[in-house]
Amino acid sequence: MPRVLAVADEVVERLWTEQVLAHSAVDLIVAAGDLPFDYLEFLSDRLDRPCVFVPGNHDVDLGGYVKVRGLWTRAGLPARWPGPAGAVNADGRVVDVAGVRIAGLGGSIRYNAGPNQWTERQQARRLRALLRRAWWRTKDGRGVDLLLTHSPPLDCGDEPDPPHRGFACLHRAVRRLRPGLLLHGHVHPHGQRRADRVLGGTTVVNVVGYKVLDVPARAGATAREPDAVGGRGVARRSGVRWRR
């Protein structure tokens, strides 16, 4: 059962020291956005574990960067990728890292002209592309273990103010992918514990700051033909086991 260190939005000072080694038993670091990239690099380097992330609305624009034969390009020209060195950007992708299959969708609802902000329609379009990729990836019979987002689903851990409203299309993502976990950031607890929520059998967890948790083992799944907006995972998941 893989164990992940999940981080988002708020730097935890003790993790940016040797105290992070208290979590050396984790298999993977997942980041839900809006953290300094050198913080993610430190966590990955010090724990010697891979890092998978999605960008938040306060992160720089990482769109358009392509790695070709080990070199980053943008618009066909050599470029320096501004993201965290060695980390995997899962935004709009499905990736398999450390035994965990992760689908990612970064960004927040659009509330100003900043990067990584999307209208509901734009995010729904991005989700359709993700679901098509997920269908092809899950044809091996394995479903998605974890959905990593910056924003929560609408009315499932979000806030009523415009910048912190969730995405309605993430309800569709959960129905199609049926991950055991949806991990998100963006909504700051301000010192109060945010209760986990359940959406269609998926446990939705606000990981602002950090949490350490086990990814439940997934039963075998058989991929189905996609509908108009993409494929769907079919396996049910067991409960989540927390560790602090």
Tokens of 244: 């602090």
Asked if residue 244 is part of any domain, the answer here is no
What b/e sequence results for 161-185 when a residue is b if at least 16 CB atoms lie within 10 Å of its CB, and e otherwise? eebbbbbebbbbbbebbbbbbbbbb
| CB atoms closer than 10 angstroms to residue 23 | 20
pLDDT-based confidence at 20, cuts 50/70/90? Answer: very high
Question: What is residue 218's predicted lDDT score, i.e. its pLDDT?
Answer: 60
Round to whole Å and give the CA distance between 188 and 200: 24
With 0.85 as the threshold, say if the pTM is over it.
yes
| Phi/psi of residue 139, nearest 5 degrees | -65, -10
Q: Which domain holds residue 90?
A: 3-74+82-239
Degrees, nearest 5: CA angle 5-7-215: 40
Tokens of 141: 């019979």
Closest CA to 31 of 57, 4, 58: 4
Residue pair 156/197 in contact by the 8 Å Cβ criterion: yes
Tokens of 181: 């976990």
Asked if residue 117 is part of any domain, the answer here is yes
Residue pair 64/36 in contact by the 8 Å Cβ criterion: no
How many domains does the chain contain in total? 1
Asked if residue 86 is part of any domain, the answer here is yes
Residue pair 8/33 in contact by the 8 Å Cβ criterion: yes
Find the CATH number of the domain harbouring 192.
3.60.21.10
For CA atoms 211, 214, 218, 223, give the dihedral sign: positive
- Average pLDDT score over residue span 206-218: 90
Asked if residue 116 is part of any domain, the answer here is yes
pLDDT digits (tens, 9 = 90+) for 95-136: 999 999 999 999 999 999 889 999 999 999 999 999 999 999
Question: What is residue 193's predicted lDDT score, i.e. its pLDDT?
Answer: 82
Report how far apart, in Å, the C-alpha atoms of 148 and of each of 104, 131, 175 are.
Answer: 5, 14, 15
Asked if residue 25 is part of any domain, the answer here is yes
pLDDT digits (tens, 9 = 90+) for 130-187: 999 999 999 999 999 999 999 999 999 999 999 999 999 999 999 999 999 999 999 9
Report how far apart, in Å, the C-alpha atoms of 134 and of each of 25, 103, 104, 126, 179 are.
Answer: 29, 7, 10, 12, 12
